[in-house]
Amino acid sequence: MTAPSRLQQLLAFYEADPTDAFTIYALATEYRAAEPLRAWEFYEKLLTEHPDYVGTYYHAGKLLEGFGKKDEAEQVYRKGLIVSRKAGQLHAASELQQALNSCLGLDYEDD
C-alpha cells in the first residue's frame, strides 16, 4: 500500500473543508508549475473569498505575469501592497513592491 501523495492529501483536506485558506493556498502552490490554469483557479478563490490572505498576492501576480496579463498582475500587486501594509506584514509588502516595480519595468540597475 502506497502513501497518498501530497496533492492527494491536500485534495482530501480541501474536500473536508473547502473554505480553509491555507489548504487553498497549498493547492495553488502545488499546481503552479505543472497546471498553472488550475493553480489560478485556487488563487482566484483566495483573492475573492480570502482577500486578507497576504501570501496570495505575490504568487497570483507572478502567475498572471506568466500568462502575459501584466495589467491584471499590476492590480493584484497593488491590492496586495494595501493588504500587507494593513496587516503589518512589511516584508511581504517589500516583496510585492519589488514585484510591482519589475512588472512596470522599473527594476533597473545602475551600471
pLDDT one-digit tens code per residue, 55-111: 999 999 999 999 999 999 999 999 999 999 999 999 999 999 999 999 999 976 654
Tell me how far apart the alpha carbons of residues 49 and 44 are, in angstroms, rounded to a whole number: 8
pTM above 0.85, yes or no: yes
Q: Which helix (H) or strand (E) holds 55?
A: helix 55-66
Q: What is the CA radius of gyration of the chain?
A: 15
- State yes or no: pLDDT of 49 exceeds 80: yes
Q: Per-residue pLDDT averaged across 28-33, rounded?
A: 96
Pick the CATH number of 6-103 from 1.10.1040.50, 1.25.40.10, 1.10.390.10, 3.40.50.970: 1.25.40.10
Contact 50, 21 (CB under 8 A): yes
pLDDT for 107 equals 74
